[in-house]
């Protein structure tokens, strides 16, 4: 096993020839795809991994300088594809990994046949003529809460992000993966994500994008997928699902998994 494979806990599953890469968002790990993976095994070569800094990764490998920008994660993704000798893949990116996939596809469009973006946002801060969902003082409060008592912050943030019942298995699962992150790494990653602005690169995307979004999501307002649809240069399609929360593949699999499978299997109609 190579250093890239070991560092990211890469697993390659399934018996198909076509490669599909599943990339998780902040505070989760590859287990967030547990409801989707079984449906892909017979038709695809399924690649799952953990983003650097997530709970299952070795915190000693986390380079605070490298990961002050999402480009660091995009380079990791390209290194993973190179390590596994992937020539072309369908890429499914949740939350921040949607933008990571966009950045990687701009650098190497030949490696991606399509991007499926679930709950992705190019900017979380509100701006003139742009609604990202957060004001700066709200983000500052979030970061302060993470600094002062990370465990308490996890317990409060998880049900808000997941939505629905506070005692649900999905909330418990997100609480677990969130709490598995080392607190200083979690804070650094959260600051990098929530302060990022990638609106200016959307016009450089050449790979088709399938944009999927919950109708109710604390982190990503429903106007954001429409913004992506209008500003991404390549062919795009948007589907807003009647699901609740930022991790709908975990909390509402009955709704979300069939939608994901449809967009994975079918291309945008000409």
What gap in Å lies between CA 40 and CA 23, rounded to an integer? 15
For the record, the structure tokens of 270 come out as 């000409």
Closest to 146 measured CA to CA, from 102, 193, 111, 109:
193
C-alpha 15/C-alpha 63 separation (Å) is 35
Q: Which of 29, 246, 251, 252 is catalytic?
A: 246
- 113 catalytic? Reply is no
- Is 246 labeled as catalytic in the residue annotation? yes
> Exactly one of 24, 50, 95, 97 is catalytic; which is it?
95
Question: Does 121 qualify as catalytic in the annotation?
Answer: no
Catalytic residue among 217, 234, 251, 252: 217
Which residues are annotated as catalytic? 95, 217, 246
């Amino acid at each position: 096993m190579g250093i890239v494979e070991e560092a990211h806990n890469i697993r390659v599953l399934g018996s198909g020839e076509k490669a599909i890469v599943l990339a998780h968002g902040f505070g989760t790990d590859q287990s967030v795809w547990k409801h989707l993976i079984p449906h892909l095994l017979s038709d695809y070569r399924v690649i799952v991994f953990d983003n650097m800094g997530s709970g299952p990764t070795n915190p000693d490998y986390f380079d605070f300088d490298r990961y002050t920008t999402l480009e660091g994660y995009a380079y990791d993704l390209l290194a993973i594809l190179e390590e596994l000798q992937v020539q072309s893949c369908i890429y499914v990116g949740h939350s921040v990994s949607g933008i990571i996939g966009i950045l990687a596809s701009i650098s190497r469009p030949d490696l991606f046949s399509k991007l499926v973006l679930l709950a992705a946002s190019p900017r979380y801060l509100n701006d003139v003529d742009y609604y990202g969902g957060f004001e700066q003082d709200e983000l500052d409060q979030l970061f302060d809460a993470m600094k002062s008592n990370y465990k308490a912050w996890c317990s409060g943030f998880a049900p808000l992000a997941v939505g629905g019942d506070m005692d649900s298995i999905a909330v418990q699962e997100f609480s677990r993966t969130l709490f598995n992150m080392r607190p200083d790494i979690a804070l650094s990653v959260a600051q990098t994500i929530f302060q990022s602005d990638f609106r200016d690169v959307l016009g450089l995307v050449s790979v088709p994008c399938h944009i999927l979004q919950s109708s109710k999501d604390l982190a990503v307002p429903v106007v954001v997928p429409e913004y992506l649809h209008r500003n991404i240069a390549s062919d795009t399609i948007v589907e807003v699902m009647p699901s609740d929360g930022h991790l709908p593949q975990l909390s509402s699999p009955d709704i979300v998994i069939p939608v994901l499978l449809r967009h994975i299997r079918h291309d945008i109609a000409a």
